[in-house]
Each structure stands twice: as structure tokens, then as C-alpha cells.
Amino acid sequence: MRGEILMKLEVSTTIERPVATVWDFYAVHHVENHPRWNPDVELADTSAEPIGVGTVIRRRSRLSGAPTEGTMEITEFEPQKVMRARTQDGPITIDGWAFFSARGENSTQLTMGGEFPGMDDEMKEKIRPLMERSIVNIKALVESET
């Protein structure tokens, strides 16, 4: 929307696994694994095709209390580098991303973020801890499973 303020939030962590492993967990198996790191969101495939640009994923979110139905469309999918998605969560559209950077042979910097329309400081204080919880959970899951 014209003139609407977009608040950008990012969180980052280092995962002691190779980029290929983190990418596979986060991007390739996004639909299966997302609810594991964020139990407030359920995802469902809309296609039997592998995830990639143009993939639309159905989502149901309970982040704000009452469940909201929405979609997530993959807008960029560059293996082992970046995954971007446009999420329609009820009436709100969020442009989100995940960047993957090698920090040595067996270490990956994962940075997740998003641009949230119309977010004020109060909403930022609610969303940031949820993002931090997700990235901590991703780190723990990837490091414990491989």
C-alpha cells in the first residue's frame, strides 16, 4: 500500500552444520519442518511438485490468538543461498526471507527476516520473540538430528 510503513525485523544464528544440511531442513522440507520450529503455524502442500519459485503453500496461523487462514508463495529459491516468500496471513501481507551463508566447512549463518506492514513498536515487541524462538528451535533441531 502506498505510504504504508514497513517494519523490518531480522534474527540470525550460527548453526554447526554445513549449508547444504541447513538448506535441506529449512527450505527443501519447509512444509514438514516449519510446524516443528513454530508450533503456532500449520502448513499444507498445494502441489506434489518440489518446493520452488511459484510454489503456493496453504497455512493456518494461531500467532494472534484466533486461527487465520492464508498462503505462502515462494518468490525466490536459490539453493543454499536464499529463500523468499510472500505470506498472506489473513488481511496482512508479509515479505519474508531466509539467507544461508557458510561460516566454514561445517557451520552456517542463518538469517531470517521479514517486512511487516503497519507494525508499531508494540507489535514489534510481540513478533521479535516469536522469530527468536523459531531460530533457536531451528538451530536445536538441525544440530540434534544430523
Q: How far is residue 113's CA from residue 94's CA, in Å, rounded to a whole number?
A: 10
Take residue 121 and report the three cell numbers written for it: 513498536
What integer pLDDT is reported at residue 124 of this predicted model?
83
SS3 49: coil
Q: What does the block give as the cell for 75? A: 518468490
Place of cell 504504508: 4
Q: Please report the sign of the dihedral spanned by the C-alpha atoms of residue 92, residue 133, residue 127, residue 19.
A: negative
* CATH of region 6-145, choose from 3.30.530.20, 3.40.50.300, 3.90.550.10, 3.40.190.10: 3.30.530.20
What is residue 25's predicted lDDT score, i.e. its pLDDT? 98
For residue 47, what pLDDT is reported? 85
* The C-alpha cell that represents 22 in the structure block: 541447513
75, 86 in Cβ contact below 8 A? yes
From CA 117, how far away is CA 62, in angstroms rounded?
19
Cell 502448513 sits at which residue? Answer: 43
Task: Give residue 1's pLDDT.
Answer: 45
pLDDT in tens, the chain (146 residues): 455 677 899 999 999 999 999 999 999 999 999 999 999 899 998 888 999 999 999 999 887 667 889 999 999 999 999 999 999 987 888 999 999 999 989 999 999 999 988 877 788 888 899 999 999 999 999 999 86
Integer Cα distance of 21 and 61 in angstroms: 27
Q: Which amino acid appears at position 126 of this protein?
A: K
